[in-house]
Amino acid sequence: MRHDFYTYHHSIRVATYAVAIALEMGLKEEDSLNELALGAIFHDIGKKYLPISLLHKTGQLNEEEWAQIRSHPELGRDSTKNLAFGHVPSEIIIHHHEKLDGSGYPHGLENEAIMTEVQIVTLADVFDALTSVRSYQKKRTNFGALDFIKQKLLGEKIAREPFKALISSLADKEK
């Protein structure tokens, strides 16, 4: 929180969305939900090793800056490897920027090689980023973010089942 107030709050929101998505997908075991939440809360922990000026840059990033940004999953994994996080949180930290089509980073994983829990956090991360005020983009409404994901990312980069669960979790449950 002291390094980057935005990333701290973003991580809490991502964890909240991720647990809501998992519950909608039928994940009910408390230990599994705790591991998912832990991984989501710490998914961006590697950003604490990046300059705050880079994290809040308003203009376009150059290649060197992109390389620094793309290093944060590995920095996060390295900084937590001696903690008793377990497999799922560690996978979330290192792979939350992987995409179904292999275009993500740091390992270019595809489809089933990306754990379901990672896919859930990836979607929660994208959704929160789209619905938040950021230095380089305007905040979208929930509907605008869901529409963007559906039109530009769904199926190729983002998994369908978590997306449907996100929609369901956001829907008004009152009758």
What's the average pLDDT block by block, 10 residues per block, for the chain (175 residues)?
Answer: 74 97 96 96 93 85 92 93 90 97 96 97 96 78 95 96 96 61
Of 21, 8, 6, 7, give the one whose Cα is nearest residue 118. 21
Task: Tell me what pLDDT residue 175 has.
Answer: 43
- Whose structure tokens read 């840059």? 57
pLDDT of residue 139: 85
| pLDDT at residue 23, rounded to an integer | 97
- Per-residue burial over 77-95, b if 16 or more Cβ lie within 10 Å, else e, is beebeeeebeebbbbbbbb
Phi, psi for residue 121 in degrees, rounded to 5: -65, -35
Query: Catalytic residues, which ones?
Result: 47
At 68 the pLDDT is: 93
- 95 sits in which H/E element: helix 87-95
- Report the pLDDT value the prediction gives residue 81, as an integer from 0 to 100: 87
In whole angstroms, how large is the CA radius of gyration of the chain? 15
Residue pair 46/74 in contact (Cβ under 8 Å)? The answer is: yes
